[in-house]
């Protein structure tokens, strides 16, 4: 079973990972964006970790909805509302249970990813965070390590794609040949999940 502490540790591990990889995320956002993805998420997840520490919400759903709200309020770029929606919607789908099963979490995360697609209008293959998130939820039934591998593969597979959503889409064909920063950060989020699950 996964409790509030598990989800809090997931957010903290994501904050550490985003902090460590911030320069790389910003470098990826330089040729096909505006070079702020690393700093955007660094600011956002630092605030998330601090808020969770201070308020210590006591259910999985409350941890994720609070984290999502915090991301939306601290990240100005496109990724803030998108990741914020992912976490808020996933948290909402988990309801008020004190503990949830991995299966319940997989169902909730699918709702979260669907909400991101509705909000941003991106589908798989559009060279966005969706290209890491959809393979991850698809693989989650096989465990957290499988989800991590699928997300990493999905992020790498964005390189040859032409962006159809977000800032990178303004470049048209010139977006080809660069790995998408948001798909890369999404793979960090999923890797942090595997890390806290000990897989």
Q: Please state, in angstroms and rounded to a whole number, the distance separating the CA atoms of residues 139 and 142.
A: 6
The single residue among 21, 29, 180, 195 that binds Mg ion, judged by CB under 5 A, is 29
The single residue among 5, 34, 55, 199 that binds Mg ion, judged by CB under 5 A, is 34
Q: Closer to ligand ADP at the Cβ: 42 or 59?
A: 42
The entry of ligand ADP, Mg ion, none that residue 128 binds, CB within 5 to 8 Å by partner kind: ligand ADP
The entry of Mg ion, ligand ADP, none that residue 121 binds, CB within 5 to 8 Å by partner kind: ligand ADP
The single residue among 36, 126, 180, 195 that binds Mg ion, judged by CB under 5 A, is 36
How many alpha carbons fall within 13 Å on the CB side of residue 174?
Answer: 8
Q: Closer to ligand ADP at the Cβ: 59 or 184?
A: 184
The entry of ligand ADP, Mg ion, none that residue 122 binds, CB within 5 to 8 Å by partner kind: ligand ADP
Three-state SS letters, the chain: CEEHHHHHHHHHHHHHHHHHHHHHHHHHHHHHCCCCHHHHHHHHHHHHHHHHHHHCCCCHHHHHHHHHHHHHHHCCCCHHHHHHHHHHHHHHHHCCCCEECHHHHHHHHHHHHHHHHHHHCCCCCCCCCHHHHHHHHHHHHHCHHHHHHHHHHHHHCCCCCCCCCCHHHHHHHHHCCCCCHHHHHHHHHHHHHHHHCCC
Residue 100 pairs in a beta bridge with 2
CB of 102 to ligand ADP, least distance (A): 25
Q: Applying CB under 5 A, does 33 fall inside the site for Mg ion?
A: yes
Binding site for ligand ADP (CB under 6 A): 29, 33-34, 36-37, 40, 77-79, 82, 120-122, 128-130, 165-167, 180-183
Q: Closer to ligand ADP at the Cβ: 59 or 179?
A: 179
Q: Closer to ligand ADP at the Cβ: 154 or 166?
A: 166
Residue closest to Mg ion, measured at CB? 33
Binding interface with Mg ion (CB under 5 A): 29, 33-34, 36-37
């Amino acid at each position: 079973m996964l409790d509030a502490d598990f989800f809090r540790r997931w957010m903290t591990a994501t904050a550490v990972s985003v902090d460590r990889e911030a320069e790389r995320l910003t470098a990826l956002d330089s040729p096909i964006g505006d070079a702020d993805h690393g700093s955007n998420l660094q600011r956002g997840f630092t605030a998330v970790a601090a808020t969770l520490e201070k308020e210590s919400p006591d259910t999985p759903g409350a941890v994720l909805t609070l984290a999502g709200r915090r991301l939306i309020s601290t990240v100005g770029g496109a990724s803030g509302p998108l990741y914020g929606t992912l976490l808020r919607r996933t948290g909402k789908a988990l309801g008020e249970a004190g503990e949830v099963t991995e299966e319940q979490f997989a169902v909730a995360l699918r709702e979260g990813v669907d909400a991101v697609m509705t909000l941003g209008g991106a589908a798989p293959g559009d060279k966005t965070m969706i290209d890491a998130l959809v393979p991850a939820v698809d693989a989650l039934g096989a465990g957290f390590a499988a989800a991590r591998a699928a997300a990493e593969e999905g992020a790498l597979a964005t390189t040859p794609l032409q962006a159809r959503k977000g800032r990178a889409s303004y470049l048209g064909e010139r977006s080809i040949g660069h790995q998408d920063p948001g798909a890369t950060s999404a793979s960090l989020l999923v890797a942090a999940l595997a890390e806290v699950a000990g897989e």
